[in-house]
Amino acid sequence: MPNNESFARGYLKGYEEGLITAWEELLSLTTKGYSSREIQILAKSRKSNIPQKVELAKKRLSRDMEIDLETPPRSIAENATEAQKEEEPTAIALMPGGTLVVKDNHLEASLLLLREALAKGAPGLCIVRTPPDTIRSRYNVNCRMVWLTKTECVKEEGCDAAKDDYVSPTDLPRLNTMIKSFVSENKKGVIVLEGLEYLINQNDFKGVLKFLSGIRDQVYLAKASMLIPLDPSVFDARDLKSIELEVQG
């Protein structure tokens, strides 16, 4: 009974602290001038980071208390393995003339396909929220880069001004022109567009859908390929479905 009571009290304390932290973060967002949609996207993004935070806390407790919290009970581990098998993502592939939404909260899958295409001689274009220098060093991808940023592109900020372009996320017409120019000059080229949630955050949702519709048609006509990696957890199911329908028809 004492152990049960200690567990229950610890659970309730953690539950209370978790609720307080969540509401404090939400309140902090409301004081920074964000719109309701921006708050929604930011909140979902932070929610998606909870598993990583829990893992860090687990490692810290295991170390400090000298207990093993890393290995789950056998039955739980077996169930997790089966669930993981069921949830393995479908293999993705480049499609000439196709635009594909890649549901992944990392860039690896899309950049691996791009790197393979580059190795075969295909021209590539990366439009990224991640600083281009990071893309080059971390993923070994070398092609034309366009950085989505409101900061003027200088080397200290993460891109090489001598070879990288930059564009404000609010300047959708210029971004559209860049893509149109690329596909017209590079038939069967490959484009990676990262930062869709950032574009939506900085514009209105319908405007971004219209932008996606336009570049989808340009990609199709040039028999190019475009990959749009995004984290599905930061979007409403309805918005995510609208995006998929818009870019994939």
Q: What is the pLDDT of residues 178-202, one digit of tens each?
A: 999 999 999 889 999 999 999 999 9
Residue 92 lies in a domain: no
Burial level of 128, CB count in 10 A (0-12/13-18/19+)?
Answer: buried
- Tell me how far CA of residue 57 lies from CA of 7, 25, 46, 131, in angstroms: 17, 19, 16, 29
Q: How far apart are CA 92 and CA 109, in angstroms?
A: 8
How much is the pTM?
A: 0.63
Domains in the chain, number: 2
Are both 137 and 216 inside the same structural domain? Answer: yes
Q: What is the DSSP letter of 126?
A: E
Are both 227 and 146 inside the same structural domain? Answer: yes
Q: How high is the pLDDT of residue 34?
A: 59
Q: What is the mean pLDDT of each run of 10 residues along the chain (249 residues)?
A: 64 75 72 62 61 66 67 49 44 82 84 91 94 89 91 55 76 94 92 94 92 93 93 88 85
Are both 197 and 113 inside the same structural domain? Answer: yes
Residue 183: how many other CB atoms lie within 10 Å: 24
Q: State the chain's mean pLDDT as an integer.
A: 78
Q: How high is the pLDDT of residue 248?
A: 75
Helix (H/G/I), strand (E/B), else coil: 124: strand
Q: How high is the pLDDT of residue 21?
A: 77
Residue 182 lies in a domain: yes
| Phi, psi of 35, deg, nearest 5 | -75, 170
Are both 25 and 111 inside the same structural domain? Answer: no
148 closest CA partner among 130, 123, 162: 130
Place of tokens 């200088």: 154
User: Cβ distance 217 to 209 under 8 Å?
Assistant: no
Residue 31 lies in a domain: yes
Residue 94 lies in a domain: no
Angle at 197 between CA 139 and CA 90, to 5 degrees: 60
Are both 41 and 140 inside the same structural domain? Answer: no
Residue 91 lies in a domain: no
In three-state form (DSSP H/G/I as H, E/B as E, the rest C), the secondary structure along 173-230 is HHHHHHHHHHHHHCCCCEEEECCHHHHHHHCCHHHHHHHHHHHHHHHHHCCCEEEEEE
Q: How high is the pLDDT of residue 236?
A: 87
Are both 111 and 144 inside the same structural domain? Answer: yes
Of the residues 61, 86, 111, which one is the last residue of a structural domain? 86
User: Cβ distance 142 to 133 under 8 Å?
Assistant: no
Q: How far apart are CA 132 and CA 49, in angstroms?
A: 23
E strands, the chain, in order: 99-103, 124-128, 144-148, 165-167, 190-193, 225-230
Are both 158 and 79 inside the same structural domain? Answer: no
Supply the CATH number for residue 187's domain.
Answer: 3.40.50.300
Which structural domain range is residue 144 located in?
Answer: 99-248
Are both 185 and 228 inside the same structural domain? Answer: yes
Q: How high is the pLDDT of residue 19?
A: 75
